[in-house]
Structure 1
Amino acid sequence: MASSIWLLQKLAYSFRPTVEIFQVERGVEFSMVYMEDVLGKSSFPWSTVPIVGFTVVPGFKVGGTVIQSQVYLMSQKCNDL
């Protein structure tokens, strides 16, 4: 796995404009701009807030374009925040 990440970073630095790789941390609130839910459950009950359980595939920024990170979502009750 580490060698795959190393190769991804080397490839990213070879492009112009440079490619930035980002990973979303566990517990971060879900953002439709930077993240995609791998299960496709975009509707959560109003009493819950979707948060990131773990990142499946990191995201990329190429110039002004964002390629979304794929994440597995969990729900957290609003009153638990």
Structure 2
Amino acid sequence: MEHDSQLKLYAAVAARLKEAHTAVRALQVPESVRKALIRKLLVVTAAAKHDLPDAARRLERLMKDLDEGRFPEGD
């Protein structure tokens, strides 16, 4: 049963990451901000390999920030 819930979470995180990448590509922001957002997505992707629940939380925080127009500072 634990394995099934882990697979469901993995599928949900993967789908949400895909949405996040699409959202970042669509943003009208300076390239430096886009790069910072992509780095955050890469961190979430790497975290998913070791701590899937933490990656899901990080991704939801990132998506909330995007929805609310809060972007990281560029280089």
TM-score normalised to the size of structure 2? 0.29
Larger radius of gyration: 1
TM-score normalised to the size of structure 1? 0.28
Higher helix share: 2
